Amino acid sequence: PVLVVDFGAQYAQLIARRVREANIYSEIVPSTATVAEIAAREPAAVILSGGPSSVYADGAPAVDPALFDTEIPVMGICYGFQAMARALGGTVARTGRREYGATDLSVGAPDATLLRDLPARATVWMSHGDAVSAAPDGFTVTASTPDTPIAAFENLDRRLAGVQYHPEVAHTEHGQDVLRRFLYDVAGIIPDWNPQSILDEQVAAVRAVVGTEKVICALSGGVDSAVAAALVHQAVGDQLTCVFVDHGLLRAGEREQVERDYVAATGIHLVTVDAEQRFLAALDGITEPETKRKIIGREFIRVFETAAAEINAAEGGVKFLVQGTLYPDVVESGGGTGTATIKSHHNVGGLPDDLQFQLVEPLRALFKDEVRALGAELGLPAAMVKRHPFPGPGLGIRIIGAVDAERLAVLRAADAIVREEMTAAGVDEQIWQCPVVLLADVRSVGVQGDGRTYGHPIVLRPVSSEDAMTADWSRLPYDLLARISNRITGEVSEVNRVVLDITSKPPGTIEWE
């Protein structure tokens, strides 16, 4: 792999993603990893990420100079660039000036390899206080900015290079080209990581682990569990049984999509459990969001355990459980620093691992976009693979107020209109998702037909995001919003008002509960 050393900022994941977009497998390691540990992984290259603002700060992580004796190709980015310069005998100075945001880069060496084919000027994204004031011996300086004379350097004999700016962020022009130049030309790596190779590798791995045992998987209707199950099915065929719990909090057409389209595409053996009454009874009168989430999570596990016990009961049950865990979950839980629980995320595809199963997690190394590519490779329907995220607790946390069958029907009807119109307008791929929320305890006066109404508002919450950690509200076209509003107030009789949520995250979370 290419190992990305995480110096503590949010950038390491992004770099790993960009490396994979260049068709090379990449993983993140903490900056506490020793050179021996890194070398033991036999990386094709190492990338040192951005991080805290100053290499002089107390406790700022340093780069062990021994890394450069291993002959592993290394690229330094931002903080990693400075740490690398220092470790190699260059100097880093406190400039007292900070460069933030879009900066003009002048490429000074037309024969440079790292910045080859770049125009003489490009806009790049900067975020730093200190700067490299003297490059290490043997390095050629290849670019500068108005405030930073040494903005890129390289030493091709030693296969080392670096840039002061952030090539991984979308605001940097030609950033991906620079990463490719490093990976392909400086480090000499042959790009061979693609959906087909991932699939072959994972199918073989699942076969090796599972052998002839029985496997079970909870399908949520979401992308991750659907792809994980299809992959395991390809590996072990009918040893796999999927369980789909219909908790009555699904959107219109979701159960059919799983029962009909998914089964048709995969041939997977599916058991659907009808548990609507049970969930609605448990949620009766509950309005507090965390309480709702906990109830839904608890009921889900009970239903799932009962269904699981019946599968292969004659032969003593099932040994393996498939989970659609993704790489960001792995990285984030490995980060381990006690972040506050904002919401107890209940992923219906993701059960707690204290269930009596051994876990099979074939997507553990993948990012979401890679999972989607894999799903397409496995022949899953496009509507399923491209599906927007939908929370495990479903519409239960999109009714603000107590949940009941009537309110669910109202929200389901409004949500179906929103999805239909957004798809027709072709905006699905521009947004991350669009929760539709029913303010069930709020009423306002309206006039519909000839009469006064006293109905409920529906909230539209379209957001754009890269990873759901932060998000901005999406600027959907006004005529699309107008069509949605007209149709909902016209077709869903309990609703007389449609409002738009224009809050970014933070401060608002994406879901309302």
Note whether 108 and 144 are within 8 A (CB): yes
* Between 48 and 434, CB nearer to ligand XMP: 434
* Between 167 and 391, CB nearer to ligand XMP: 391
Q: What's the closest the beta carbon of residue 80 comes to ligand XMP, in angstroms?
A: 29
Catalytic hit among 99, 128, 166, 242 = 166
Relative orientation angle of helices 327-335 and 11-21, to the nearest 10 degrees: 150
Q: What's the closest the beta carbon of residue 52 comes to ligand XMP, in angstroms?
A: 26
Q: Which of 411, 9, 370 shows the shortest CA–CA distance to 195?
A: 370
78 noted as active-site residue: yes
What is the CB-side half-sphere exposure of residue 42 using CA atoms within 13 A?
0
Whole-number Å distance between alpha carbons of 129 and 98: 4
Relative orientation angle of helices 368-377 and 223-236, to the nearest 10 degrees: 50
* Between 187 and 439, CB nearer to ligand XMP: 439
217 noted as active-site residue: no
* Between 51 and 324, CB nearer to ligand XMP: 324
Within 8 A by CB and 6+ apart from 496, the residues are 444, 445, 446, 448, 453, 454, 455, 456, 457, 489
Cis peptide before 506 (omega within 30 of 0): yes
* Between 234 and 433, CB nearer to ligand XMP: 433
Note whether 395 and 411 are within 8 A (CB): yes
Binding site for ligand XMP (CB under 6 A): 343, 345-347, 389, 391-393, 433, 468, 505, 509-511
Question: Position of tokens 């036999």?
Answer: 42
Q: What's the closest the beta carbon of residue 256 comes to ligand XMP, in angstroms?
A: 21
* Between 158 and 345, CB nearer to ligand XMP: 345
| DSSP letter string, 205-220 | HHHHHHTT--EEEEE-
Question: Position of tokens 């007389």?
Answer: 496
Note whether 77 and 168 are within 8 A (CB): yes
Backbone φ and ψ for 58, nearest 5 degrees, come out as: -55, 130
Q: What's the closest the beta carbon of residue 36 comes to ligand XMP, in angstroms?
A: 38
Q: Which of 502, 510, 488, 472 shows the shortest CA–CA distance to 420?
A: 488
Q: What's the closest the beta carbon of residue 385 comes to ligand XMP, in angstroms?
A: 16
Pairing label, strands 451-460, 444-448: antiparallel
Q: What's the closest the beta carbon of residue 332 comes to ligand XMP, in angstroms?
A: 13
Q: What's the closest the beta carbon of residue 218 comes to ligand XMP, in angstroms?
A: 12
* Between 213 and 501, CB nearer to ligand XMP: 501
168 noted as active-site residue: yes
Active site residues: 78, 166, 168
